[in-house]
Amino acid sequence: MASLRSILYLATVFCCLFEQSFSFNPKQLNLSLSATQWDTAGATWYGSPDGFGSDGGSCGYGDVVSQAPFSSMVTAVGPSLYKSGRECGACYQIKCTKHKSCSGKPVRVVITDSCPGGPCASDAAHFDLSGTSFGAMALPGQGEELRNAGVLEIQFARVACDYSGKTIAFHVDQGSNSNYFAAVIEYEEGDGDLGSVELKDASSTDSEGGEEWRAMQQSWGAVWKLDAGSALHPPLSIKLTSGYSGQTLLAKNVIPNGWQPGATYRSVVNYL
């Protein structure tokens, strides 16, 4: 009997722990652990048939969108998904099934641009894909036929980004100086987007002698800025908080002494 009571007690404890473990907001789930949920969107394409849409578009990534790991598999999106640039860098799987040239197999694309008008604004969700990513939804050898179809109905799902082991990088804006710092933030794996960014220089302490972090503002697209009002003393550390999961990363001393506008500095951290 004692043994039975022990078993029942352990089962009760397990159930309580299980309930506590899973009674949280799904928004806090890391995308790599989330089930794929498909929705419907419209899809068009722009740029050259085998190109990358535009040169970095409104997110500010520049010509890196044509290079690995983006590899031209990029998209502009309508306002409902672009969210004033907050979703720059977010990744989606897309697939088409309603045209004879559709393969039905999902491919992954990255948001690098906005599409503000026409069906991009009127559709509940719309992807204006690069020619490369639009054609990637086709059966082998039928990319041209699919691109000639015009507007497609596709399915899409938010997924984790995978940048083949790259760490988060900071491409310093050309207008940066000792009092003003701005950078394009690139290659956020996993959740792929940023809810907030904070900066700390080597001399930053609060009134109690602790670390003082200053909130950066989203300037445009994937560019975040801090107008410090006084000289910043490198090295600079940057704290990144995911807008999807709330997970925070620290890129400590990522911007070194002697940093230069236009240079790119790579951290040793990422979300996966």
pLDDT digits (tens, 9 = 90+) for 218-250: 999 999 999 999 999 999 999 999 988 899 999
What is residue 211's predicted lDDT score, i.e. its pLDDT? Answer: 82
Q: What is the pLDDT of residues 35-69, one digit of tens each?
A: 578 999 999 999 999 888 876 689 999 989 999 99
- In the structure, what pLDDT confidence band is assigned to residue 165 with cuts at 50, 70 and 90? confident
DSSP-based three-state secondary structure for 18: helix
Of the two residues 48 and 199, the one the predictor is more confident about is 199
What is residue 51's predicted lDDT score, i.e. its pLDDT? Answer: 84
DSSP-based three-state secondary structure for 256: coil
3-7, 64-68, 97-101, 192-196: the lowest-pLDDT one = 3-7
Q: Which two tokens stand for residue 162?
A: 């995978």
Does residue 260 surpass a pLDDT of 70? yes
Q: What is the pLDDT of residues 110-157, one digit of tens each?
A: 999 999 889 999 999 999 999 999 999 999 999 999 999 989 999 999
- Percent of the chain whose predicted confidence (pLDDT) is above 90: 71
Does residue 20 surpass a pLDDT of 50? no
Q: How high does pLDDT run on average in the chain?
A: 86
CA distance 272 to 270: 6
What is residue 57's predicted lDDT score, i.e. its pLDDT? Answer: 83
Question: What domains does the chain contain, in order, with CATH numbers?
Answer: 31-159 (2.40.40.10), 169-266 (2.60.40.760)
Region 59-80: mean pLDDT is 93
Region 165-172: mean pLDDT is 94
What is residue 82's predicted lDDT score, i.e. its pLDDT? Answer: 95
What is residue 208's predicted lDDT score, i.e. its pLDDT? Answer: 60
CA distance 223 to 76: 17
What is residue 133's predicted lDDT score, i.e. its pLDDT? Answer: 96
Terminal alpha carbon distance of the chain = 48
| Greatest CA separation for the chain | 76
Q: Which two tokens stand for residue 150?
A: 């015009």
CA distance 255 to 238: 8
Phi, psi for residue 77 in degrees, rounded to 5: -135, 160
In terms of Cα–Cα distance, which of 107, 227, 200, 199 is closest to 156? 107
DSSP-based three-state secondary structure for 170: strand
What is residue 63's predicted lDDT score, i.e. its pLDDT? Answer: 87
Does residue 194 surpass a pLDDT of 50? yes
